[in-house]
């Protein structure tokens, strides 16, 4: 089994893999990008063991990819928000999503990202296909796509607004 670190390697890819190379980590980030910021929302959406989610959220917080913000005092509850470092990972997730859509989504993409301002989709360079604007995580909305399963009820944008499946954002 591979270790968690790549000691002795002077490689930016290896260092990034130490952070996001574990499968749950990327899926947790996807959920946060889609607006699921609270522990229970993420746990339910991913069907992940609570101890595993706790460990991954702690690591992402320690690495300053996410920040933990209290939203309730009694009992104390937190939500997880993307930092600038977390937002900087957005192009990686979009590229992985587009790769998966191309090679592993025969019924079409399960999620479609659209430009909030004009409704255009993203090209391979994260540019709006309608108006030509270069897009960031804050500029897009996620919608259920043609390959979404019937159990998908909503997907969201990085600001947390939820868009019910099948309805315009």
Kindly tell me if the per-residue pLDDT of 69 is higher than 90.
yes
b/e code 68-81 from CB counts within 10 Å (16+ = b): eeeeeeeeeebbbe
Q: What is the mean pLDDT of residues 46-62?
A: 96
Closest CA to 136 of 157, 110, 154, 163: 157
Claim to verify: residue 135 and residue 156 sit in the same structural domain: yes
Q: Residue 46 belongs to a domain with what CATH number?
A: 1.10.10.10
Total number of domains constituting the chain: 2
- Torsion sign, CA atoms 146, 150, 151, 157: positive
Kindly tell me if the per-residue pLDDT of 164 is higher than 50.
no
Q: What is the mean pLDDT of residues 40-58?
A: 96
Tens digit of each residue's pLDDT (9 = 90 or more) over 96-113: 999 999 999 999 999 999
Which residues span the domain enclosing 97? 90-164
Tokens of 153: 């009820």
Kindly tell me if the per-residue pLDDT of 168 is higher than 50.
no
Claim to verify: residue 82 and residue 98 sit in the same structural domain: no
The answer to whether residue 5 is domain-embedded is: no
Claim to verify: residue 82 and residue 95 sit in the same structural domain: no
Last residue in a domain, options 23, 51, 86: 86
What pLDDT does residue 165 have?
29
The answer to whether residue 2 is domain-embedded is: no
Tokens of 110: 């399960």
The answer to whether residue 6 is domain-embedded is: no
Claim to verify: residue 112 and residue 148 sit in the same structural domain: yes
- Residues 28, 34 contacting (CB under 8 angstroms): no
Claim to verify: residue 108 and residue 82 sit in the same structural domain: no
> For residue 155, what pLDDT band results from cuts at 50, 70 and 90?
low
What pLDDT does residue 56 have?
97
Claim to verify: residue 102 and residue 157 sit in the same structural domain: yes
Find out whether the peptide bond into 75 is cis, omega within 30 degrees of 0. Answer: yes
The answer to whether residue 135 is domain-embedded is: yes
> For residue 151, what pLDDT band results from cuts at 50, 70 and 90?
low
pTM, entire model: 0.83
Kindly tell me if the per-residue pLDDT of 95 is higher than 90.
yes
């Amino acid at each position: 089994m591979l270790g968690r670190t790549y000691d002795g390697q002077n490689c930016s890819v290896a260092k990034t893999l130490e952070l996001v190379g574990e499968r749950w980590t990327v899926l947790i980030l996807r959920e946060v990008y889609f607006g699921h910021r609270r522990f229970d929302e993420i746990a339910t959406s991913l069907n992940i063991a609570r101890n595993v989610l706790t460990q991954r959220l702690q690591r992402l917080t320690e690495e300053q990819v996410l920040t933990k913000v209290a939203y309730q005092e009694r009992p104390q509850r937190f939500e997880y928000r993307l930092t600038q470092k977390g937002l900087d990972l957005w192009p990686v997730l979009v590229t992985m999503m587009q790769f998966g859509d191309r090679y592993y989504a025969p019924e079409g993409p399960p999620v479609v990202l659209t430009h909030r301002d004009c409704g255009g989709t993203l090209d391979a360079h994260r540019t709006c296909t309608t108006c030509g604007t270069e897009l960031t995580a804050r500029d897009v909305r996620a919608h259920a796509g043609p390959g979404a399963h019937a159990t998908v009820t909503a997907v969201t944008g990085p600001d947390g607004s939820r868009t019910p499946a099948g309805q315009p954002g």
